[in-house]
Protein backbone atom coordinates (compact mmCIF):
# COMPACT_ATOMS: atom_id res chain seq x y z
CA UNK A 1 0.00 0.00 0.00
CA UNK A 2 1.36 3.45 -0.96
CA UNK A 3 2.29 5.62 2.02
CA UNK A 4 0.35 8.84 2.54
CA UNK A 5 2.25 11.93 1.38
CA UNK A 6 3.55 14.26 4.07
CA UNK A 7 1.45 17.33 4.95
CA UNK A 8 2.31 20.58 3.25
CA UNK A 9 4.68 22.75 5.26
CA UNK A 10 3.13 25.65 7.20
CA UNK A 11 3.17 29.06 5.61
CA UNK A 12 3.49 32.69 6.63
CA UNK A 13 3.83 36.06 4.98
CA UNK A 14 7.39 37.33 4.53
CA UNK A 15 7.15 40.82 3.15
CA UNK A 16 4.63 40.80 0.31
CA UNK A 17 4.72 37.05 -0.44
CA UNK A 18 3.56 33.85 1.21
CA UNK A 19 6.28 31.33 2.05
CA UNK A 20 6.13 27.72 3.27
CA UNK A 21 9.12 26.64 5.37
CA UNK A 22 10.46 23.48 6.95
CA UNK A 23 11.20 23.72 10.70
CA UNK A 24 14.35 25.56 11.69
CA UNK A 25 17.18 23.07 11.54
CA UNK A 26 20.34 23.12 9.43
CA UNK A 27 22.12 26.45 9.22
CA UNK A 28 22.23 26.25 5.42
CA UNK A 29 19.15 27.68 3.73
CA UNK A 30 17.36 26.78 0.50
CA UNK A 31 14.76 28.70 -1.49
CA UNK A 32 12.38 26.95 -3.93
CA UNK A 33 10.60 28.69 -6.84
CA UNK A 34 7.63 27.05 -8.61
CA UNK A 35 6.53 27.21 -12.23
CA UNK A 36 3.60 28.74 -14.11
CA UNK A 37 0.25 27.86 -12.49
CA UNK A 38 2.17 26.21 -9.64
CA UNK A 39 2.64 27.06 -5.98
CA UNK A 40 4.96 26.52 -3.05
CA UNK A 41 3.28 23.16 -2.41
CA UNK A 42 4.94 21.80 -5.57
CA UNK A 43 8.09 21.46 -3.44
CA UNK A 44 6.62 19.82 -0.32
CA UNK A 45 8.02 16.34 -0.89
CA UNK A 46 11.48 17.45 -2.02
CA UNK A 47 11.74 19.82 0.95
CA UNK A 48 10.91 16.88 3.20
CA UNK A 49 13.71 14.84 1.66
CA UNK A 50 16.21 17.64 2.20
CA UNK A 51 15.15 18.96 5.60
CA UNK A 52 18.13 17.36 7.33
CA UNK A 53 20.53 19.17 4.96
CA UNK A 54 18.92 22.60 4.51
CA UNK A 55 16.17 24.66 6.08
CA UNK A 56 13.83 25.14 3.14
CA UNK A 57 11.60 28.03 2.10
CA UNK A 58 9.20 27.67 -0.85
CA UNK A 59 7.77 30.91 -2.18
CA UNK A 60 4.34 31.49 -3.65
CA UNK A 61 5.23 33.90 -6.45
CA UNK A 62 3.16 37.13 -6.56
CA UNK A 63 -0.45 36.27 -7.34
CA UNK A 64 0.14 32.50 -6.99
CA UNK A 65 -0.71 30.17 -4.13
CA UNK A 66 -1.53 32.27 -1.06
CA UNK A 67 0.47 35.33 -2.17
CA UNK A 68 -1.67 38.36 -2.99
CA UNK A 69 -1.52 40.14 -6.31
CA UNK A 70 1.52 42.44 -6.52
CA UNK A 71 0.71 46.06 -5.73
CA UNK A 72 2.33 47.19 -8.98
CA UNK A 73 0.65 44.50 -11.09
CA UNK A 74 4.07 43.29 -12.32
CA UNK A 75 4.00 39.61 -13.32
CA UNK A 76 7.13 39.73 -15.49
CA UNK A 77 10.09 37.45 -14.86
CA UNK A 78 11.90 40.53 -13.51
CA UNK A 79 9.02 41.17 -11.12
CA UNK A 80 9.06 37.58 -9.88
CA UNK A 81 12.85 37.76 -9.54
CA UNK A 82 12.51 40.80 -7.28
CA UNK A 83 10.15 38.83 -5.04
CA UNK A 84 12.65 35.96 -4.79
CA UNK A 85 15.49 38.38 -4.07
CA UNK A 86 13.41 39.86 -1.28
CA UNK A 87 13.04 36.41 0.27
CA UNK A 88 16.78 35.68 -0.14
CA UNK A 89 17.61 38.95 1.57
CA UNK A 90 15.49 37.68 4.46
CA UNK A 91 16.98 34.16 4.62
CA UNK A 92 20.54 35.08 3.71
CA UNK A 93 22.55 33.29 0.99
CA UNK A 94 20.80 30.07 0.02
CA UNK A 95 20.77 27.13 -2.34
CA UNK A 96 18.28 28.20 -5.02
CA UNK A 97 15.91 25.76 -6.76
CA UNK A 98 13.63 26.56 -9.71
CA UNK A 99 11.21 24.62 -11.89
CA UNK A 100 9.97 25.73 -15.33
CA UNK A 101 9.10 29.45 -15.04
CA UNK A 102 10.72 29.31 -11.61
CA UNK A 103 13.89 28.10 -13.31
CA UNK A 104 13.92 31.19 -15.53
CA UNK A 105 13.37 33.37 -12.47
CA UNK A 106 16.16 31.58 -10.58
CA UNK A 107 18.62 32.10 -13.45
CA UNK A 108 17.92 35.84 -13.42
CA UNK A 109 18.38 35.97 -9.65
CA UNK A 110 21.63 34.00 -9.73
CA UNK A 111 23.03 36.21 -12.50
CA UNK A 112 22.11 39.54 -10.93
CA UNK A 113 22.61 38.79 -7.23
CA UNK A 114 25.36 36.13 -7.11
CA UNK A 115 26.18 36.85 -3.47
CA UNK A 116 22.75 35.48 -2.49
CA UNK A 117 23.01 32.14 -4.34
CA UNK A 118 25.08 29.31 -2.87
CA UNK A 119 24.17 26.85 -5.63
CA UNK A 120 21.56 26.62 -8.37
CA UNK A 121 19.32 23.63 -9.14
CA UNK A 122 17.11 23.93 -12.20
CA UNK A 123 14.41 21.38 -12.98
CA UNK A 124 13.14 21.66 -16.57
CA UNK A 125 13.95 25.39 -16.65
CA UNK A 126 11.94 27.48 -19.11
CA UNK A 127 14.88 28.95 -21.00
CA UNK A 128 14.18 30.35 -24.48
CA UNK A 129 13.51 27.70 -27.13
CA UNK A 130 11.61 28.83 -30.21
CA UNK A 131 10.91 25.36 -31.61
CA UNK A 132 7.14 24.93 -31.20
CA UNK A 133 5.71 22.35 -28.83
CA UNK A 134 2.09 21.86 -27.78
CA UNK A 135 2.49 23.06 -24.20
CA UNK A 136 4.47 26.25 -24.95
CA UNK A 137 2.07 27.10 -27.77
CA UNK A 138 -0.79 27.06 -25.27
CA UNK A 139 1.19 29.44 -23.05
CA UNK A 140 1.85 31.70 -26.04
CA UNK A 141 -1.87 31.74 -26.86
CA UNK A 142 -2.67 32.79 -23.29
CA UNK A 143 -0.21 35.66 -23.72
CA UNK A 144 -2.03 37.17 -26.72
CA UNK A 145 -3.88 40.39 -25.73
CA UNK A 146 -7.61 39.86 -25.16
CA UNK A 147 -7.38 36.19 -26.13
CA UNK A 148 -5.55 35.39 -22.88
CA UNK A 149 -8.22 37.05 -20.75
CA UNK A 150 -10.98 35.30 -22.72
CA UNK A 151 -9.33 31.90 -22.27
CA UNK A 152 -8.87 32.53 -18.54
CA UNK A 153 -12.52 33.47 -18.11
CA UNK A 154 -13.73 30.45 -20.06
CA UNK A 155 -11.55 28.03 -18.12
CA UNK A 156 -13.46 28.73 -14.92
CA UNK A 157 -16.51 27.18 -16.60
CA UNK A 158 -14.67 23.84 -16.79
CA UNK A 159 -14.92 21.76 -13.57
CA UNK A 160 -11.82 22.02 -11.39
CA UNK A 161 -11.40 18.23 -11.45
CA UNK A 162 -11.22 18.23 -15.24
CA UNK A 163 -8.74 21.12 -15.38
CA UNK A 164 -6.40 19.64 -12.77
CA UNK A 165 -6.47 16.18 -14.31
CA UNK A 166 -5.69 17.60 -17.75
CA UNK A 167 -2.85 19.73 -16.34
CA UNK A 168 -1.27 16.86 -14.44
CA UNK A 169 -1.50 14.64 -17.50
CA UNK A 170 0.72 17.16 -19.30
CA UNK A 171 3.33 17.81 -16.62
CA UNK A 172 3.65 14.28 -15.16
CA UNK A 173 5.14 11.49 -17.26
CA UNK A 174 2.69 9.03 -15.70
CA UNK A 175 -0.59 10.44 -14.43
CA UNK A 176 -1.31 7.17 -12.61
CA UNK A 177 1.65 7.93 -10.30
CA UNK A 178 -0.12 10.94 -8.78
CA UNK A 179 -1.18 10.07 -5.23
CA UNK A 180 -4.97 10.45 -4.76
CA UNK A 181 -4.41 12.79 -1.79
CA UNK A 182 -2.23 15.11 -3.85
CA UNK A 183 -4.87 15.08 -6.59
CA UNK A 184 -7.62 16.01 -4.11
CA UNK A 185 -5.46 18.77 -2.64
CA UNK A 186 -4.81 20.23 -6.09
CA UNK A 187 -8.51 20.21 -6.94
CA UNK A 188 -9.42 21.91 -3.66
CA UNK A 189 -6.74 24.53 -4.23
CA UNK A 190 -8.02 25.20 -7.75
CA UNK A 191 -11.52 25.75 -6.39
CA UNK A 192 -10.14 28.20 -3.83
CA UNK A 193 -8.27 30.12 -6.50
CA UNK A 194 -11.33 30.24 -8.75
CA UNK A 195 -12.87 32.57 -6.15
CA UNK A 196 -9.92 34.99 -6.18
CA UNK A 197 -10.57 38.07 -8.35
CA UNK A 198 -6.93 38.30 -9.48
CA UNK A 199 -6.23 34.61 -10.22
CA UNK A 200 -6.86 34.82 -13.97
CA UNK A 201 -4.87 38.03 -14.31
CA UNK A 202 -1.95 36.49 -12.43
CA UNK A 203 -1.92 33.45 -14.71
CA UNK A 204 -2.13 35.47 -17.93
CA UNK A 205 0.38 38.05 -16.70
CA UNK A 206 2.94 35.39 -15.78
CA UNK A 207 2.44 33.64 -19.13
CA UNK A 208 3.05 36.93 -20.93
CA UNK A 209 6.13 37.48 -18.81
CA UNK A 210 7.82 34.24 -19.83
CA UNK A 211 6.82 34.65 -23.51
CA UNK A 212 8.37 38.14 -23.48
CA UNK A 213 11.63 36.61 -22.24
CA UNK A 214 11.64 34.15 -25.12
CA UNK A 215 11.58 37.01 -27.63
CA UNK A 216 13.92 39.40 -25.81
CA UNK A 217 16.83 40.54 -27.97
CA UNK A 218 19.09 42.04 -25.30
CA UNK A 219 20.00 40.68 -21.87
CA UNK A 220 18.37 37.37 -22.72
CA UNK A 221 18.00 34.54 -20.24
CA UNK A 222 20.76 32.65 -22.06
CA UNK A 223 23.06 35.66 -21.63
CA UNK A 224 22.09 35.73 -17.97
CA UNK A 225 22.84 32.00 -17.71
CA UNK A 226 26.35 32.54 -19.04
CA UNK A 227 27.01 34.95 -16.15
CA UNK A 228 25.93 32.58 -13.37
CA UNK A 229 28.89 31.90 -11.10
CA UNK A 230 27.22 29.38 -8.77
CA UNK A 231 27.60 25.64 -9.25
CA UNK A 232 24.58 24.54 -11.25
CA UNK A 233 22.62 21.30 -11.49
CA UNK A 234 20.13 20.94 -14.35
CA UNK A 235 17.60 18.11 -14.29
CA UNK A 236 15.43 17.20 -17.26
CA UNK A 237 12.79 14.50 -17.60
CA UNK A 238 12.96 12.54 -20.84
CA UNK A 239 9.15 12.63 -21.08
CA UNK A 240 8.86 16.39 -20.56
CA UNK A 241 6.10 17.67 -22.84
CA UNK A 242 6.77 21.35 -22.15
CA UNK A 243 10.55 21.87 -22.15
CA UNK A 244 12.60 19.93 -24.67
CA UNK A 245 15.21 17.77 -22.89
CA UNK A 246 17.48 18.52 -25.87
CA UNK A 247 17.91 22.02 -24.41
CA UNK A 248 20.22 20.41 -21.85
CA UNK A 249 22.96 20.44 -24.47
CA UNK A 250 22.73 24.20 -24.87
CA UNK A 251 22.68 24.59 -21.09
CA UNK A 252 25.86 22.53 -20.82
CA UNK A 253 27.59 24.89 -23.24
CA UNK A 254 26.26 28.02 -21.51
CA UNK A 255 26.53 27.64 -17.73
CA UNK A 256 30.06 27.93 -16.30
CA UNK A 257 29.93 25.13 -13.72
CA UNK A 258 27.18 22.71 -14.63
CA UNK A 259 26.18 19.09 -14.24
CA UNK A 260 23.30 17.64 -16.24
CA UNK A 261 20.98 14.82 -15.17
CA UNK A 262 18.44 13.27 -17.54
CA UNK A 263 15.77 11.20 -15.80
CA UNK A 264 14.40 8.57 -18.21
CA UNK A 265 10.98 8.16 -16.57
CA UNK A 266 10.23 11.72 -15.45
CA UNK A 267 8.20 14.51 -17.02
CA UNK A 268 8.17 18.25 -16.36
CA UNK A 269 7.98 18.21 -12.55
CA UNK A 270 10.64 15.71 -11.48
CA UNK A 271 10.72 17.11 -7.94
CA UNK A 272 7.11 15.95 -7.53
CA UNK A 273 7.38 12.75 -9.56
CA UNK A 274 10.55 11.37 -7.95
CA UNK A 275 11.60 13.59 -5.03
CA UNK A 276 14.03 11.03 -3.62
CA UNK A 277 16.03 10.91 -6.85
CA UNK A 278 16.10 14.70 -7.20
CA UNK A 279 17.08 15.01 -3.54
CA UNK A 280 20.04 12.68 -4.04
CA UNK A 281 21.33 14.83 -6.89
CA UNK A 282 20.75 18.03 -4.90
CA UNK A 283 22.62 16.60 -1.90
CA UNK A 284 25.60 15.94 -4.12
CA UNK A 285 25.56 19.53 -5.39
CA UNK A 286 25.25 20.94 -1.87
CA UNK A 287 28.17 18.76 -0.80
CA UNK A 288 30.29 19.97 -3.71
CA UNK A 289 29.46 23.56 -2.81
CA UNK A 290 30.64 22.98 0.76
CA UNK A 291 33.92 21.55 -0.52
CA UNK A 292 34.58 24.50 -2.81
CA UNK A 293 36.40 23.54 -5.96
CA UNK A 294 36.91 19.88 -5.02
CA UNK A 295 33.99 17.93 -6.56
CA UNK A 296 32.73 14.80 -4.87
CA UNK A 297 33.72 11.47 -6.49
CA UNK A 298 31.22 10.23 -9.08
- Lowest mean pLDDT, pick from 91-100, 112-121, 189-198, 213-222: 213-222
* Of residues 214, 203, 217, 253, the one with CA closest to residue 232: 253
Whole-number Å distance between alpha carbons of 85 and 79: 10
Residue 10 has pLDDT above 70, yes or no: yes
**Going along 144-283, which residue ranges are E strands?**
231-237, 258-263
Kind and range of the H or E run holding 121: strand 117-123
> What is the pLDDT averaged over residues 88-107?
97
* Assigned domain for 259 exists: yes
Distance from C-alpha of 293 to C-alpha of 288, rounded to nearest angstrom: 7
Bridge partners for 162 per DSSP: none
pLDDT-derived band at 29 (thresholds 50, 70, 90) equals very high
- Does a structural domain hold residue 298? no
- Which tens digits make up the pLDDT trace of 192-207? 999 999 998 999 899 9
pLDDT category of residue 135 using cuts at 50, 70 and 90? low
- pLDDT cut 70: percent of the chain above it: 87
Strand partners, 12: 19
Instruction: Tell whether 34 is covered by a domain.
Output: yes
- Structural domain that includes position 25: 11-293
What's the CATH number where 190 sits? 3.40.50.1820
Whether residue 9 is predicted with pLDDT greater than 80 in this model: the reply is yes
Q: Is residue 2 part of a domain?
A: no
Q: What pLDDT does 156 receive? A: 64
- The whole-number pLDDT of residue 146 equals 44
Does 5 map to a domain? Answer: no
- Does residue 7 surpass a pLDDT of 50? yes
Average pLDDT over residues 128-143: 57
**Above 50 in pLDDT, residue 147?**
no
Whether residue 173 lies inside any domain: the answer is: yes
pLDDT greater than 90 at residue 139: no
6 assigned to some structural domain: no
d(CA 59, CA 242): 22
Q: Which residues pair with 11 in a beta bridge?
A: 20
Average pLDDT value for residue range 219-231: 96
Query: Quick one: pLDDT band at residue 215, thresholds 50, 70, 90?
Result: confident
Q: Please tell me the number of Cα atoms within 13 Å of 230 on its side-chain side.
A: 30
Mean pLDDT of the chain: 90
Confidence (pLDDT) at 123: 98
Question: Is the distance from CB of 92 to CB of 83 less than 8 angstroms?
Answer: no
Per-residue pLDDT tens over the stretch 238-271:
999 999 888 889 999 999 999 999 999 999 999 9
- Which one, of 168, 151, 184, 154, lies nearest residue 272 by Cα? 168
How many structural domains are present in the chain? 1
The model's pLDDT over 148-166, given as tens digits with 9 standing for 90+, comes to 444 555 566 678 999 899 9
Query: Using 50, 70 and 90 to split pLDDT, how confident is the model at 295?
Result: very low
Phi then psi for 232, rounded to 5 degrees? -130, 135
Mean pLDDT within 41-45: 98
Tell me if 80 is assigned to some domain.
Answer: yes
Amino acid sequence: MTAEPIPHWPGRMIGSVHVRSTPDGPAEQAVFVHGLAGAATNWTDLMGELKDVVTGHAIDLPGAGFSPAPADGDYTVDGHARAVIGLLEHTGPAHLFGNSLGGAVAVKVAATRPELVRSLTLISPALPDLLPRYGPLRVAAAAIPLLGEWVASRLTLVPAEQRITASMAVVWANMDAVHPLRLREAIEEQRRRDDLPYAGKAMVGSARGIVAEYFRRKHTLWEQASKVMARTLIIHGRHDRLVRPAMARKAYRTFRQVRLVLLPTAGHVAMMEMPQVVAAEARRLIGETRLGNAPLPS
